[in-house]
Amino acid sequence: MPSPSIYTVAQRAGVSIATVSRVLRDSGPVAATTRERVLAAAAELSWSPNRLAAGLAARVHGAAGIVFPDLAGPYFSQVVLGFEEQAVADDRSALILATHGRLNADEMVLDLAARVDGLVVMDRTVTDEVVRCLEGRGSPVVLLARPAVGATPAVRAESLDAATRITAHLIALGHTRLAFLGDPEAAPDVDDRWRGFLVAHLEAGLPAPGKPVRSGFVQDEGYAAGTALLDDAARPTAVVCANDEAALGVYAAARDLGLRIPDDVAVTGWDDIPAARAVTPPLATVRQPMRELGRQAGALLSARIAGVPADSLTLPTEIVLRASCGPPANSRTPTNRIPTPTRRLEP
């Protein structure tokens, strides 16, 4: 029993396929009674138009894709969820592709591009060259958490300044031996955070800090890097982590080494994931609008698909001071409030 087609429905309703198409897409005038007959026939056959055929004829996929590395965890899910949300709002399906650092990522992305009306590309999943290639083939692209490429716009969250400020805060608290935990080469955003870390040292007249302590984004890597970093008499008194999950790894490392946070070592993260508020002491961090990043990227993509040129966008971030960056503050009587309006303190 082959699935019904527009012909089956037309025949059953006693009209032509053109009429069936009209009522379903309600393009063009149709008599009320005719409409009823068609709708009834379609319902009886439980028919819905074949998207492949419809797309082919209309030259539209009705779908958008997003490409990301391998990020599990809150950042990934929030960004993708935001993207999905926007796609659905724009009446498009959402396709996802995790490159995992697979060698044939370029190929996979190119393939994906052939089945969507446009796509969002995160981080360094593919080279600038591929981005240009995609645009050249007529696939609108929006970059996410990565610098713009030519006329291809980017959506990002501010990183450099926030990193400078949160580092400056630690320095103002008296820290002089600070470490940066994360891999600047892993993602453009991390590179910005690392640079902000450096800028704060410069502005404070402190000697340049050592190289970053390489770590990936997941907790286990943060644990390993944190252990290596802290299991040393000459350990830093403050650790600025590239993201919250790595910071939680440092929490575990500190605990296993018998070190207290923030007394023995201050720690800050990035993202403000829910767990940052659950741990003790609560984790100071920089909040970035993860879901909104995905949503905005999706919106920009929709604009580009519609032929509207779109400009790059940088969303604001927010420093969230909590007890982990010390000095130890009782949650009921916070002492580390900072007056700067863009900063914020939570209990």
Partner DNA sequence: TTGTATGCGTTATCAC
Partner DNA sequence: GTGATAACGCATACAA
**Cα separation of 318 and 320, whole Å?**
6
| Binding of residue 7 to DNA (CB under 7 A) | yes
Residue whose tokens read 């103002």 = 172
**Cα separation of 110 and 132, whole Å?**
11
Interface stretch with DNA, choices 27-35, 65-73, 103-111, 117-125 (CB under 7 A): 27-35
335 CB-near residues (< 8 Å, 6+ apart): 327, 329
Show the binding pattern over residues 37-66: x = contacts DNA (CB under 7 A), - = does not. ----------xxxx-xxx-xxxx-------
| Binding of residue 103 to a second copy (CB under 8 A) | no
| Binding of residue 34 to DNA (CB under 7 A) | yes
| Binding of residue 316 to DNA (CB under 7 A) | no
> In whole angstroms, how close is the CB of 326 to a second copy at the nearest point?
17
| Residue 45 binding result from DNA, a second copy, none, given CB thresholds of 5 to 8 Å by partner type | none
> In whole angstroms, how close is the CB of 204 to DNA at the nearest point?
59
**Cα separation of 242 and 255, whole Å?**
20
- C-alpha 201: how far from its chain's center? 28
Nearer to DNA, 15 or 290 (CB): 15
147 CB-near residues (< 8 Å, 6+ apart): 154, 156, 188
| Binding of residue 260 to a second copy (CB under 8 A) | no
Interface stretch with a second copy, choices 19-27, 50-58, 173-181, 207-215 (CB under 8 A): 50-58
| Binding of residue 151 to DNA (CB under 7 A) | no
3-state secondary structure of 319: strand
| Binding of residue 16 to DNA (CB under 7 A) | yes
3-state secondary structure of 333: strand
Nearer to a second copy, 185 or 220 (CB): 220
> In whole angstroms, how close is the CB of 8 to a second copy at the nearest point?
13
Residue whose tokens read 């899910």 = 77
> In whole angstroms, how close is the CB of 19 to DNA at the nearest point?
4
1, 33, 136, 205: which one binds DNA (CB under 7 A): 33
**Cα separation of 37 and 214, whole Å?**
67
**Cα separation of 63 and 48, whole Å?**
18
| Residue 34 binding result from a second copy, DNA, none, given CB thresholds of 5 to 8 Å by partner type | DNA
Of residues 252, 73, 262, 304, the one with CA closest to residue 169: 262
Nearer to DNA, 42 or 160 (CB): 42
111, 203, 232, 263: which one binds a second copy (CB under 8 A): 111
Strand arrangement of the beta sheet that strand 344-345 belongs to: 285-287, 318-321, 344-345
**Cα separation of 336 and 329, whole Å?**
7
**Cα separation of 135 and 141, whole Å?**
7
| Binding of residue 18 to DNA (CB under 7 A) | yes
Nearer to DNA, 19 or 219 (CB): 19
State the residues that interact with DNA by CB under 7 A. Answer: 2-3, 5-7, 14-19, 21-22, 24-25, 27-31, 33-35, 47-50, 52-54, 56-59
